[in-house]
Amino acid sequence: MKHITMDITDVLSSTIGDEGIDGTSLREVASKINEFKKSLYKTPYPFMDFQLIRSHLGDIHEITKSLGELKIKNLVLLGIGGSSLGTETIFHALLHPLHNIEEDARGKKPRYFILDNIDPVRIKSVVELVKRDKEETLLIVISKSGETPETMSQFMIFKEILKSSKDYKKRIVIITDKNKGMLREIVKKEGYPSLPVPEGIGGRFSVLTPVGMFPSSVMGLNIEEIINGAQAMSEHIDKADYRKNLAVVLASILYIMDMKGKHIHVMMPYCEKLNAFADWFRQLEAESLGKKGMGPTPLKSTGVTDQHSQLQLYIDGPKDKCITFLYCGGITQPIPNSIPYIDGLDYLGAKDMAELFHAEFLGTRRSLTEAKTPHLTITLNEVSLFNIGALFFLYEMVIAFMGFMYNVDAFDQPAVELGKIYTKAIMGKKGLEDKRLTIEKELKEKRSVIEF
């Protein structure tokens, strides 16, 4: 059975001419990446170490089991970027679309609220909910450094609410660095259940660690099957011929497209369940490769919705884009012939919504081919635990391979760290007084402002 397939026909010059990639260039880049891959599997990055990944499963299950004696109605996850996007992807893909709305849809699982932003409007609304349900709320706090100001400020708010409830320390689980950081100090002093972010695995590569697996376990998902999918993809990448290797070929295409001036990489899921995966991909590519004046710009688009908002640009705008479709067939939903007196609707009556959805996808793809806009299609046979794990690992390896081609460290984010420093300085963190003065001086200077 083929779990994931990739159709690259419409990025090749044999299909779309000069806007595409010729076979010689593709083989040359793929060969370079393949040689890097061989050395990498001899000394793998930590996120590739499945013995390390699986070593935390016992602790994850133990803490999950301990929560069974508590009545958990709400799961509130505090985390930003890589601390939350993977979990959001898993929940969006594998839980019922109406999970938070319909009790029948979620069964005995809790509602979830992933607070990946600190906009006070949303924070305030969840605060009011938790105040009402504080005896039935599980708080998961995730920060690799243990010092992320957004996450720590949220933690301070919700801890203050929960601490007046019974057994509240059993209902706060902290996921952070095993040995250092403020959150680790708090765990040691206050005694919360805790899981580690493994050494050497940064946030955006951490979805298969406790960062993504513990919240998934709380939701009753089979996390072993997610990891099985990732490990099976790893074995494919390790052993497959480089010309038929999903990660090697995809990394080669995305790199060559950028070198050809296709600097905008659009991910366009034609599958509602995979929409959040595009958000996860945006961080992975942007934060990993946007360095030294280089790096493509990842964008998210949604099929069918963005046929009516973005497709005009993709077809008739600048030739600076490469589009990746994610596709998975949906369930059937018949369209009744309920308006028979209108001749122009007869082509829809007695058909199926899945048939229409597929036709929309094929029509969009063909229009891009005619416009010579390069695009490729990744198709999943189903949105499953196994396939989600495989897709996560596929793109993690793609980005690692592209980092090699750009000659950048795909695992750091120095520009992001500078923004964090200025944030802490503005808020009055000791030791950053010089940065605070810089901001205060800037605010006093005359600025170019237009008013209404």
- pLDDT reading at 1 higher than 70: no
Closest CA to 409 of 308, 307, 291, 322: 291
- What tokens does 243 get? 């010309």
Instruction: Give the count of beta carbons closer than 10 Å to the beta carbon of residue 252.
Output: 28
Is 452 inside any structural domain? no
Q: Is 96 a catalytic residue?
A: no
If asked whether residues 247 and 390 sit together in one domain, one would say yes
Residue-level pLDDT at 434: 81
- Express each pLDDT in 58-95 by its tens digit: 999 999 999 988 989 999 999 999 999 999 999 999 99
Last-in-domain residue among 171, 190, 221: 221
Q: Nearest 5°: phi and psi at 412?
A: -115, 175
Alpha helices by DSSP H, 221-320: 223-239, 246-259, 275-289, 311-316
If asked whether residues 387 and 315 sit together in one domain, one would say yes
- pLDDT reading at 415 higher than 80: no
| CB-facing half-sphere around the CA of 373: CA atoms within 13 A | 25
Q: Nearest 5°: phi and psi at 240?
A: -70, 145
If asked whether residues 208 and 256 sit together in one domain, one would say no
Write down the catalytic residue from 2, 42, 108, 308: 308
If asked whether residues 145 and 241 sit together in one domain, one would say no
Write down the catalytic residue from 19, 285, 287, 396: 287
pTM as predicted: 0.94
Q: Is 287 a catalytic residue?
A: yes
Residue-level pLDDT at 342: 87
Whether the Cβ atoms of residue 265 and residue 74 lie closer than 8 Å to each other: no
If asked whether residues 197 and 248 sit together in one domain, one would say no
The per-residue DSSP string of 294-344 comes to ---EEEE--TTGGGGTTHHHHHHS-S-EEEEEEE------EE----TT-GG
- Express each pLDDT in 308-337 by its tens digit: 999 999 999 999 999 999 999 878 898 898
Burial 221-234 (b: 16+ CB within 10 A, else e): bebeebbbbbbbbb
Is 449 inside any structural domain? no
If asked whether residues 28 and 60 sit together in one domain, one would say no
Q: Which structural domain, as residue segments, surrounds residue 431?
A: 414-444
Is 45 inside any structural domain? no
Whether the Cβ atoms of residue 364 and residue 307 lie closer than 8 Å to each other: yes
Strand segments, DSSP code E, in 88-177 are 111-115, 137-143, 172-177
Query: Which amino acid appears at position 209 of this protein?
Result: T
> Can you tell me the distance from the alpha carbon of 57 to that of 265, in angstroms, rounded to the nearest whole number?
35
Is 451 inside any structural domain? no
∠9-11-15 over CA atoms, to 5°? 60
Last-in-domain residue among 221, 246, 264: 221
Distance, first Cα to last Cα, the chain: 61
Whether the Cβ atoms of residue 360 and residue 325 lie closer than 8 Å to each other: no
> Can you tell me the distance from the alpha carbon of 290 to that of 270, in angstroms, rounded to the nearest whole number?
27
Confidence of residue 422 (pLDDT cuts 50, 70, 90): confident
Q: What is the CATH number of the domain that holds 57?
A: 3.40.50.10490
> Can you tell me the distance from the alpha carbon of 98 to that of 273, in angstroms, rounded to the nearest whole number?
12
If asked whether residues 230 and 378 sit together in one domain, one would say yes
Which H or E run includes 322?
strand 321-327
Last-in-domain residue among 161, 187, 221: 221
Whether the Cβ atoms of residue 176 and residue 187 lie closer than 8 Å to each other: yes
Is 150 inside any structural domain? yes
Q: How far is CA 443 from CA 138, 425, 440, 447, in A?
A: 41, 14, 5, 8
If asked whether residues 260 and 393 sit together in one domain, one would say yes
- Three-class DSSP category at 264: strand
Confidence of residue 444 (pLDDT cuts 50, 70, 90): confident
Is 450 inside any structural domain? no
> Can you tell me the distance from the alpha carbon of 88 to that of 215, in angstroms, rounded to the nearest whole number?
10
- Three-class DSSP category at 407: coil
If asked whether residues 189 and 273 sit together in one domain, one would say no
Is 110 inside any structural domain? yes
- Strands 194-197 and 172-177 come out as parallel
What mean pLDDT, rounded, does the chain reach?
Answer: 94
- Express each pLDDT in 250-305 by its tens digit: 999 999 999 999 999 999 999 999 999 999 999 999 999 999 999 999 999 999 99
Domain count, the chain: 3
Between 263 and 1, name the one with better pLDDT.
263
> Can you tell me the distance from the alpha carbon of 45 to that of 209, in angstroms, rounded to the nearest whole number?
14
Q: Which strands sit side by side in the sheet containing 264-270, from one edge to the other?
A: 4-7, 375-380, 321-327, 264-270, 297-300
- Three-class DSSP category at 70: coil
If asked whether residues 67 and 199 sit together in one domain, one would say yes
If asked whether residues 241 and 181 sit together in one domain, one would say no
- What tokens does 69 get? 């004696």
- Strands 4-7 and 375-380 come out as antiparallel
If asked whether residues 68 and 110 sit together in one domain, one would say yes
- Three-class DSSP category at 187: helix
Is 426 inside any structural domain? yes
Residue-level pLDDT at 448: 84
Q: Is 265 a catalytic residue?
A: no
Residue-level pLDDT at 23: 94
Write down the catalytic residue from 32, 61, 319, 420: 420
- Express each pLDDT in 388-397 by its tens digit: 999 999 999 9
> Can you tell me the distance from the alpha carbon of 404 to that of 271, in angstroms, rounded to the nearest whole number?
31
